[in-house]
Structure 1
Amino acid sequence: MWHLNKMIFGSFLALGTLVATSSYSWMGMWVGLEINLLSFIPLISTSKSMYPAEAALKYFIAQVLASTILLLSIVALSMKILNLIESSFQSELIFNTSLLLKMGAAPLHFWFPEVMEGLSWFNSMILLTWQKIAPMILLSYSGKTMMLLVAVIISCMFVSGVMGQNHLSLRKIMAYSSINHIGWMIAASLFFEVIWTIYFVIYTIITLNIVIMFKKLNIFFMKQLTLTMSHEPNLKMFFILNFLSLGGLPPFLGFFPKWLTIQTMINENFHFLAIVMIITTLATLYFYMRITFSTLVLSMNSILILTNPPTYKFFIMATNLVTLASLILVTLVFNLL
């Protein structure tokens, strides 16, 4: 019975995103975001444990706050249309702030790592990927408040680099990694939506590969990761290469969208912002490298007991070939075009 409920709420989750992104009015977009929110809450609180319920409450409070600010900005925008106020800059500022709060961009990220800590890997995957689509697209529809977005981009870079250090929880590490990528996606959407689309698709593929490994092996902390990888050398290699790809190191696929974003920013004379983003991303890359080196070097002799040995070999190898070989294929395709 519960699987039927999960299918229904999952369908409404997708429907809410589609309504929000395809609506002709701001009120229709708000309705789509609310459908999305009210469908995700039951998916979060599936377990009898207190942690998913706490995460659902935190997520609900943060999203309701963002929805309230969004409604306020919609009212202000409608007053501008009716010539009741002179400037729409303040309303656009409030509108963009509400969307940034909904997607968990820094410095409005206070709820994001805490919610991630209480979720299963399946729900974490939805929060890391699908729940970013509607706010990102609506942000590209709205007026570009450039100073706010530049400040948010730099804040995402610094917060993810500093706060992501010294965490033992893999869910929090993935959350701060997502905040870093949110900054890059916002920078990509400032110029061309196509680059943002490419970035989001590639980020989703890489994140899906990593989360599938964590879910199949049922690991949530660094100690479990090191212990499990000590017994799985093939899986260890795939995990390390995917994590380096998530960090954006060439020659992996994760480097390609950052390459496009940097090239576009240079062409649009945003040299200073591009340099700041590259330098601050190195701090994020540091804890990526720390995790991969500790996974590679450390070895534990503890007995690993798996009640249900995971059947992941073929599926994980097949999906990982996409991320490990795609940069070469993409480069060849673009050269031919």
Structure 2
Amino acid sequence: MKMNYSKVFFLSFMIVGVMICLCSNNWLLIWAGLELSLITLLPLMQNNLMITSESMMKYFLVQSISSGLLIFGLMILLTNIKPNYLIVTLSILMKMGVAPFHSWLISVVEPIQSLPLILMLTVSKISPLMILSFMQVSISIIILITLITGSIMGLNQSAVKKLIAYSSIFNMGLITMAIKNNFIWSFYLMMYSILIIMLVWMMSKLNSIYTNQIIINEQMTENKYALWMNLLSLGGMPPLMGFTIKLVIIEFSISKMMILNLIVMIVMSTLVMFFYMRMAYLTLMFFLYYPKWSMFKTSKISSLVIMLNLMLTPLILMIKNLN
């Protein structure tokens, strides 16, 4: 995606909208920050494909409906003596795209390019998660539905962007498990954002829309080890970076006695690991015309991806033991 001055302008104001949400103690300013993030993401989604206009319209309609629900819920909060956060929580869950409000996310992500895809799955989640951490509503059922939907629905997908979207839905379920601990969910979102950025960048370099295109794609032969490592990390293979963030959620769930959510998370993580292992297997084992040892000639960025995945987990565990 070519970055011109208008793209930089909209990206800057999207970050400003997120910062307004994070720094405000007024519900009206939080709502204004959400709207600023929404209206600046839409121009970034524009490209030459006709289907992108449909995708933009779907995103705008869903976000507008959820913003209307948010204002309605805030009016109820102001008029009721006893606070009722149900409608506000419903609107935030719709904005985040967690199950069962996830259908719009799957149809929106497919035609858009790499930059808006990364922003939609990472930066745009910060403000709703921050608002959700304020809510005094139990969302255990939503967490279970999100974990099950994100893992099972991703099994029969062959489109790479849909796989990434379902993986994002699953990981949103993990983040919402620790929503009452701001450090844990922000740490998880930061680490997951790094993994998603690396994966989307590699898939855009491979120019692969479907998983079977990875089989015969030799454009990034020297970087396929980095892609393989990143896929295993997203699946949660120890001792990679993706395992570290899941370990943090497991420890938090045990400390809070969230046994049912923990069991569902572990079982569903095996399904997520399956479709990432399938992509990793296709990457390295099928119709690879070059010798395997030639793939060790990695680029600087691929070496950085491998080092991040391998070295971050021992570093975090060492810091934790020192504390």
TM interval, shorter chain, is over 0.9
Aligned equivalents of 1:217, 1:261: Cα separation in 2 = 32
User: How many angstroms does 1:231 deviate by?
Assistant: 5.7
For the pair 1:222 / 2:211, whether they are aligned, the reply is yes
- What TM-score results when the alignment is normalised by the length of structure 1? 0.89
Aligned equivalents of 1:17, 1:336: Cα separation in 2 = 34
Q: How do residues 205-284 of structure 1 correspond to structure 2 at under 5 angstroms?
A: 205-228=194-217, 230=218, 232-284=220-272
Change (3 A) 1:2 1:209: closer
**Superposed CA offset, 1:242-301 (max 9, x none):** 111011121101111111111111111212221121112222222111211222221166
Aligned equivalents of 2:95, 2:20: Cα separation in 1 = 16
Aligned equivalents of 1:133, 1:55: Cα separation in 2 = 22
Contact in 2 for aligned 1:168/1:222 (Cα 8 Å): yes
Tell me the equivalent position of 2:83: 88
Tell me the equivalent position of 1:199: 188
Tell me the equivalent position of 1:336: 322
Tell me the equivalent position of 2:294: none
Q: Which amino acid aligns with 1:277?
A: M
SS at match of 1:227: coil
Aligned equivalents of 1:119, 1:316: Cα separation in 2 = 24
Superposed structure 1 runs of 4+ greater than 3 Å apart: 230-234
Q: How do residues 11-160 of structure 1 correspond to structure 2 at under 5 angstroms?
A: 11-45=12-46, 47-80=47-80, 83=81, 87-89=82-84, 92-143=85-136, 145-146=137-138, 149-160=139-150
Tell me the equivalent position of 2:293: none
Contact in 1 for aligned 2:230/2:305 (Cα 8 Å): no
The match for 1:324 among 295, 310, 320 is 310
User: How many angstroms does 1:232 deviate by?
Assistant: 4.1
User: How many angstroms does 1:184 deviate by?
Assistant: 0.3
Q: Which amino acid aligns with 2:94?
A: L
- What TM-score results when the alignment is normalised by the length of structure 2? 0.93
Identity, % of aligned positions: 30
Q: Which amino acid aligns with 2:190?
A: V
Contact in 2 for aligned 1:37/1:63 (Cα 8 Å): yes
Count of aligned residue pairs for this structure pair = 315
Tell me the equivalent position of 1:304: none
Tell me the equivalent position of 1:309: none
Tell me the equivalent position of 1:306: none
Alignment gaps of 5+ in structure 1:
302-311
Q: Which amino acid aligns with 1:119?
A: I
Change (3 A) 1:222 1:2: closer
SS at match of 2:158: coil
SS at match of 1:49: coil
